[in-house]
Amino acid sequence: MPPLPRSIAHLDMDAFFASVELLRYPHLRGQPVVVGGRRALATTAGQAFPCLHDYVGRGVITTATYEARALGVHSGMGLMKAGQLAPDALLLPADFEAYRHYSRLFKATVREIAPHLEDRGIDEIYLDLTALNPDGTPDGARRIARQLQHAVLEATGLSCSVGVAPNKLLAKLCSDLDKPAGITVVTAADLPARIWPLPARRINGIGPKAAARLETLGIASIGELAAADPAWLQEHFGERYGIWLHRAAHGDDERPVVTESEPKSVSRETTFERDLHPRTDKADLSEHFTRLCEQLAADLARKGYLGKTIGLKLRFDNFHTVTRDQTLATPTGDAATIRRAAGECARRVPLDRRIRLLGVRVSGLVRPGDVPPHATHTPTQAELFA
């Protein structure tokens, strides 16, 4: 096998949220289980957990076990639609505190073996294994991947899948090919057999709209995209995206694994079970609003940031979305201060329709050590919606 010029890995936890729940409820292993929704449901006599057919509301699936996925349900699908496909699948509420705990645990475990790590979310990371596999052999890459899988399993009780390739684009594709608990190593010579038969939409960066447009142009697979004339792709998708599509189909990606990056903002948002009216549901809205700001302040403290610009996001029952921002004189990480500023933003929006989604964001981030002691914002009493 040809060597890997770089050994870049993408480690993806298997059905992460659902797998964490199965640690708590091991007797549910092997059953179709869906995680989602925002409140517990009543169960019928003799049942420990509600079924999807009992769910009423607009919640969406956060994740599902592979047994549930085999029935056609998937992340992001509405729970009521999922109930039509898999009515007897069991429904568990999401526990994000537990998921964040296991996320921190698996990443700390991986860092002990492969410290060159790029954090890409709660359940996935990129790793540069080049220094650990200096000869670039596929066998060496598999050995490291097995070591990582074993360490994660020992530390968390959870399984993961690992893809190793010459770059990040191919590694992410590979980590999904042999789930769960899979190890896939691909070199440049493997592209025609392993990568080109895959649907073009599997490339990270080709969204639903671009995939649909490609299909209308007669391109369904990555191989067909690779065979397309670059000038023709630029004609239909613009110069930059057309060039990128051609390069991506040929597995060309020079991005480094970035071990440290400064976030531009930190945010929290929630979609309500039912649309809430600013007047008749003022108490409920205020409670959700305050909780979001408290969670956001906790996120800032955990990540080690303060922020100067507070943003509000509202989506109404007609799906119209508005955002408003307010920049403070000095950075803050205080929940009450964030709540007050976000409330001021809300006063600049006509609140005459029911609200479907509420979000709060803090940007203009700085480290506390970079702020002079006299420049911190003095907390004020949190205010309610006007």
Q: Tell me the C-alpha distance between 6 and 288, whole Å.
A: 47
Q: Which two tokens stand for residue 268?
A: 């929290």
Q: Tell me the C-alpha distance between 13 and 32, whole Å.
A: 18
The rounded radius of gyration (Å) of the Cα atoms in the chain is 23
Locate tokens 């505190």: which residue?
97
Helix axes 282-303, 335-346, angle to 10 degrees: 130
Q: Find the catalytic residue in 97, 124, 260, 262.
A: 124
b vs e for 211-245, b when ≥16 Cβ sit within 10 Å of the residue's Cβ?
beebeeeebebbbbbbebeeeebbeebeeeebebb
Classified as helix, coil or strand, 158 is coil
Helix axes 138-156, 96-113, angle to 10 degrees: 140
Q: In sequence order, which ranges of 133-228 are alpha helices (DSSP H)?
A: 138-156, 168-175, 208-216, 222-227
Q: Tell me the C-alpha distance between 310 and 327, whole Å.
A: 6
Q: Which two tokens stand for residue 1?
A: 């096998």
* DSSP count for the chain of H helices, then E strands: 12, 12
Q: Decide: 276 and 282 in contact? Cβ < 8 Å.
A: no
- 155, amino acid identity: A
Active site residue 224: no
Q: DSSP readout, 226-269?
A: HHS-HHHHHHHH-HHHHHHHHHHHTT---PPP-S----SEEEEE
Q: Which two tokens stand for residue 150?
A: 């074993």
Q: What share of the chain is helix, strand, coil (3-state, %, to 5)?
A: 40, 20, 35
Q: Which residues are catalytic?
A: 124
